[in-house]
Structure 1
Amino acid sequence: MARSSKKSVTPTKPLFRPTVRIGPLDTVGLIGRLRRLHEDAEDPYVDRMPADEELYGALLYLETNAQVLKSERARRMAALERVRLWEYLRERTDTHQARAVDDARAAGVEWAELAPQLAVKAPSAAYNKALRLRAAALTDPTQPDRPVRRTPEAVLLAERQAAAKAAAERRAAEEARRRHALLAPVAHRLLEHRDEFDDDDDVSFWLDQIEAVLPHCETPTQFVSLAIYVEAVVRELRKTERSTARPIRSEGATSAYAAAAELVAGG
């Protein structure tokens, strides 16, 4: 029987299963607890143990002096916490090494110089390994719960997608700021004449929303909220006009309403 050929995997295809990660830890507190176990066991060298903030050095000390712990419960707890803390370090190693590589490249270091530092033999291998390191800090923009495959192709694709997403967000934020520059004066004019508009509960509600957000309108989200409120005022005023005789307003109020309606119609 012919042996079935192994199916090739698309280098950019996301991994099927999300990676299980330790995530954030209070490493200082955990090392402090392990230190107390050694103090309770009367470890004669515990004063030589590195500070709680020095995670790597503290773990090496705890490994070297594990036999000092006398109770089985203490040994089990300490060993389990050491496993977890080493995994915590492992999760962060790639990210920090990738940043070091980026800094080296920014300082003009060639890939040939980085090759021995990355434990590879060729500049191309150093380049590819650096790309794989960057995968640790990336997620697939199309599937945020999935890790990026550690291949150069997948990393480059994820970075291009992330850059495109960031650029789109910047454009949206700039458009929101541009629109806000047009919208804010119109909103102010509506509030200046609110006594002439404020004859309906729904209109009053949306004018109150404008009044609340307008003095502190600084973020894209607030810009969008203000646009929604102005649009709602125009919508409710139109409803009122359709159901009742057109109200008599001053020239200023009529102009403010017309400007708001024109801005809303323009999108």
Structure 2
Amino acid sequence: MDSAAIIGKLRKLHEDAEDPEIGRMAADAELFQALLYLESHAAALKDDTARRTAAVQRVMLWEYLREQTDLHQAQAIEHARAAGAAWAELAPALAVNAPSAAYNKARRLKAAVLTDAATEDGPVRRTPEAVQKVEQQAAARAAAERRAQHDAARRHQLLAPVARRLIEHRQGLDDGDDVTYWLDQIASVLPNCQTPTQIVSLETYVAAVVRHLRKAEAANGRLAGMDTDAQLAYAAAAEVVP
């Protein structure tokens, strides 16, 4: 939400209504102070439509400000805990009477952070149990992503040398258009092949080279003009792709 732009429009309503104290209104970026001014000077708007529009916009901006407060308070709690603050120390700051109540309130505020992060299941219920479930799901997704990255790295260790040999000895491979095309694709992705997606692409290209070489081999009974190094590169590639 561009809160400053909305405040600017509300300021214009007061200017058009010739609010005599509009010069005292806070800057558009100072949301809280600007809202306090608009609230205390609502009577300056004489037109019913303008007054209704301004009031609805103020409702929306207070809601936005409340949501932002939850997010920033949750972050402050995380910083305090990281700095060694005990729940007993945080209880007065959170306007509760016991460490357990401070913990539970912090978990409810955490729900605001998780909701802001656009979880897959929509807004998170403000209970410690709901927050814990979402955090466990997030941890499981992160673990799965780490496993995928680890598997991709292992796959790259096997695939990259094979792809490199195909490029090094491409002159000895079949020079059909299909083989040439896929070798060009390998040559383009190989130098910067790091992400799982790039590694999958590289594997696809190597598999395509092997597939078309097999087709040529089946059609001709052999691969004409393939020297020993090219044969070894082809055999290595055939071992690492389906």
TM-score of the pair, normalised by structure 1: 0.81
Structure 2: tracts of 5 or more residues without a match: none
Q: In the alignment, which of 91, 104, 111 is matched to residue 115 of structure 1?
A: 91
Distance 2:208 2:49 in 1: 65
**Partner residue, 2:181:** 205
Q: How does 1:216-235 map to 2 (within 5 A)?
A: 216-235=192-211
Distance 2:47 2:110 in 1: 43
* 1:227-250 Cα deviation digits (max 9, x unpaired): 222122222322332233211311
**Partner residue, 1:261:** 238
Q: In the alignment, which of 63, 66, 74 is matched to residue 90 of structure 1?
A: 66
Q: How does 1:131-170 map to 2 (within 5 A)?
A: 131-138=107-114, 144-170=120-146
Return closer, same or farther for 1:181/1:49 CA change in 2, 3 Å cut-off. farther
Structure 1: tracts of 5 or more residues without a match: 1-24
Q: CA-atom RMSD, angstroms?
A: 2.1
Q: How does 1:170-181 map to 2 (within 5 A)?
A: 170-181=146-157
* 1:11-56 Cα deviation digits (max 9, x unpaired): xxxxxxxxxxxxxx11121111112222222222222222211112
* 1:33-80 Cα deviation digits (max 9, x unpaired): 112222222222222222211112211111111111222232222122
* 1:157-186 Cα deviation digits (max 9, x unpaired): 211221121022022112212322332232
Return closer, same or farther for 1:150/1:198 CA change in 2, 3 Å cut-off. farther
SS for the counterpart of 2:29 is coil
Distance 1:80 1:89 in 2: 14
Amino acid at match of 1:169: E
Amino acid at match of 1:205: Y
Confirm or deny: 8 A CA contact 2:162 2:233 kept in the other structure: yes
Distance 1:59 1:229 in 2: 60
Distance 2:121 2:108 in 1: 19
* 1:126-164 Cα deviation digits (max 9, x unpaired): 11111111112226xxx8133222221121121122112
Which structure is higher in helix share? 2
1:78 lines up with 2:54 in the alignment: yes
Distance 1:159 1:133 in 2: 13
Identify which range, 146-155 or 129-138, moves more after superposition: 146-155
Distance 1:133 1:148 in 2: 10
Confirm or deny: 8 A CA contact 2:174 2:213 kept in the other structure: no
Amino acid at match of 1:194: R
**Partner residue, 1:252:** 229
Distance 1:236 1:208 in 2: 14
Amino acid at match of 1:117: A
Identify which range, 180-189 or 124-133, moves more after superposition: 180-189
Higher relative contact order (CA 8 A, sep 6+): 1
Q: How does 1:186-201 map to 2 (within 5 A)?
A: 186-197=162-173, 199-201=175-177
Distance 2:183 2:131 in 1: 49
Q: In the alignment, which of 219, 227, 239 is matched to residue 243 of structure 1?
A: 219
Runs ≥4 in structure 1, deviation > 4 angstroms? none
Percentage identity across aligned positions? 65
Distance 1:198 1:42 in 2: 83
SS for the counterpart of 2:120 is strand
Q: How does 1:47-66 map to 2 (within 5 A)?
A: 47-66=23-42
Aligned pairs, how many? 238
